[in-house]
A and B are shown apart, each in its own frame.
Chain A
């Protein structure tokens, strides 16, 4: 449980860092990759979208796609062979995804506005998908094994 709290803290920190600077309509993306063989792909179309990613370990695979305005995404992944995908279209959507360990898979897909989804996974081999369409939806998935 302590680990999940740490992931959650990192996720919140990552989100807060990604929205801190003020820019004139621009999108922002922050990337940190350590370890070996990690892969990250990001596509952002629109205004004021913020994406943050950090992959520490081996062969983690992350994708962030954001279309619209004022969307925020963060992605963690610490161990190895984790896979995380975030896809958002609309505006004011927020996504998470944590993941430590090995072979975890998390996906957040959101369409609309003001949706929030957080996935925190600890341990190995967890899988979680969040799909939300509309406005004002909230989802939280926490798995610890």
Chain B
């Protein structure tokens, strides 16, 4: 009897948690129209960061790429950004190359009407 009661309660528990609701799960899984990526490549001792945005369809957006680097030679802070119209597919937003050694922290934020996405890289 206890087992039957548990089985009956299960759908109610899922519903209460939103797990049984098709609307709730669809909203949670709605893909963002833009995905960003910070690629880090090495060229000799230097490192090059490439800010990339991927869109499923053309969309107006803006981006901001901030980087702070601390090396033996000193410190550097850079900021790059602009309003862009992304085409479907991949768009290179900007690149930053920094010298050898040390550490860096970079963050890319892409904003569009109704949303934003961010990605980061460090090394």
Report if A46 contacts B (CB, 8 A). Answer: yes
Counted as pairs of residues, one from A and one from B, with CB atoms less than 8 Å apart, the total is 96
Query: What is the minimal beta-carbon distance from A110 to any residue of chain B, in angstroms?
Result: 19
- Given contacts A25-B82, A26-B94, are A36 and B51 in contact (CB under 8 A)? no
Interface size of A as a range: 20 to 34
Name the residue on B nearest A35 (C-beta): B73
Contacts of A31 in B (CB 8 A): 69, 76, 78, 96-99
Complex interface bits, B74-88 against A, C-beta within 8 A gives 1, otherwise 0: 111111111010000
Q: Does A47 lie within 8 Å of B73, measured CB to CB?
A: no
Any A CB within 8 A of the CB of B95? yes
Contact in complex: A29, B91 (CB < 8 Å): no
Flag if B46 contacts A27 (CB, 8 Å): no
Say yes or no for A55: interface residue by CB 8 A criterion.
yes
Q: Interface residue count for B (Cβ, 8 Å)?
A: 25
Binding site for A on B (CB under 8 A): 46, 51, 69, 71-82, 84, 91-99
Question: Provided the pairs A23-B95, A36-B74, A40-B74 are in contact, do residues A29 and B80 lie with their beta carbons within 8 angstroms?
Answer: yes
Q: Does A114 contact B (CB under 8 A)?
A: no
A42 partner residues in chain B, CB cutoff 8 A: 76-80
| Interface, chain A (partner B; CB < 8 A) | 21, 23-47, 49, 53, 55-56, 59-60
Q: Chain A: which residue is nearest B49 at the CB level?
A: A29
A42 to B51, CA, bound (A): 16
Beta-carbon contact of A24 and B91 below 8 Å: yes
> From B98, which residue of chain A is reached at the shortest CB distance?
A31
- Kindly list chain B residues whose C-beta atoms are within 8 Å of the C-beta of A38: 73-75
Q: Can you list 10 pairs linking A and B with CB atoms under 8 Å apart?
A: A25-B91, A26-B94, A30-B96, A31-B69, A31-B76, A31-B96, A32-B73, A39-B74, A39-B75, A44-B80
Contacting residues, chain A, for B98 (C-beta < 8 A): 31
Q: Are A35 and B74 closer than 8 Å at their CB atoms?
A: yes
Q: Taking each of B72, B75, B76, B99, which has the highest tally of chain A beta carbons within 10 Å of its own beta carbon?
A: B76
A14 to B37, CA, bound (A): 28
Q: What A residues does B71 contact at CB under 8 A? A: 33
A105 to chain B, nearest CB (A): 18
